[in-house]
Amino acid sequence: MESSPKAAHPLGSLEEKVMNALWASGPLPVREVSKRLGNKSKLAYTTVMTTLDRLYKKGLLSRTKDGLAYVYEPALSRDEHQQQMVEGIVSGLMSKSADAAPVLAAFVDAAAGLDEDNLQKLETLIANRRKTGS
């Protein structure tokens, strides 16, 4: 199975639709991905093929050769991708700031704003990190 290095990249609209199709179904050839996107999108087969190739080059997909065609599958789960995205964004913001407190405060506020239980989850994650050192 061919695979590019895993990396966190923001997804465009079509890339997100393609990844969602593959996360929902597992490995698929280009033609099947195109069918899963539905007739509403009216995308050319070559557009889907190019999008899959770009996602492969970004490290988000792996692929295997099946005859003349490639079969694509996610190189990481949706959760892993989201975690890498957040880590990349937060790390980037923190490295550009002399004081990380505003970035961390914004992260905590965003988490708490979605669900108050997230504060407890953050506290548990922090405690576990301190225990294990990793």
For 41-51, how does the pLDDT look when each residue is reduced to its tens digit (9 = 90+)? 688 999 999 99
To 10 degrees, what angle do helices 78-95 and 13-25 make?
140
Task: Copy the structure tokens of residue 30.
Answer: 């280009």
Q: How many Cα atoms are found within 13 Å in the side-chain-facing hemisphere of 122?
A: 14
Based on the domain organization, do 60 and 17 belong to the same domain? yes
Structure confidence at residue 119 (pLDDT):
87
Tell me the C-alpha to C-alpha distance, in Å, between residue 108 and each of 41, 73, 89, 121. 38, 33, 14, 11
CATH number of 66's domain = 1.10.10.10
Tens of pLDDT, residues 53-101: 999 999 999 999 999 999 999 999 999 999 888 888 888 888 887 788 8
Domain that holds residue 118: 78-132
pTM above 0.85, yes or no: no
How many contiguous H segments (helices) and E segments (strands) does the chain have? 6, 4
Which of 58, 74, 90 is the last residue before a domain boundary? 74
Split into its structural domains, the chain has a count of 2
Based on the domain organization, do 70 and 82 belong to the same domain? no
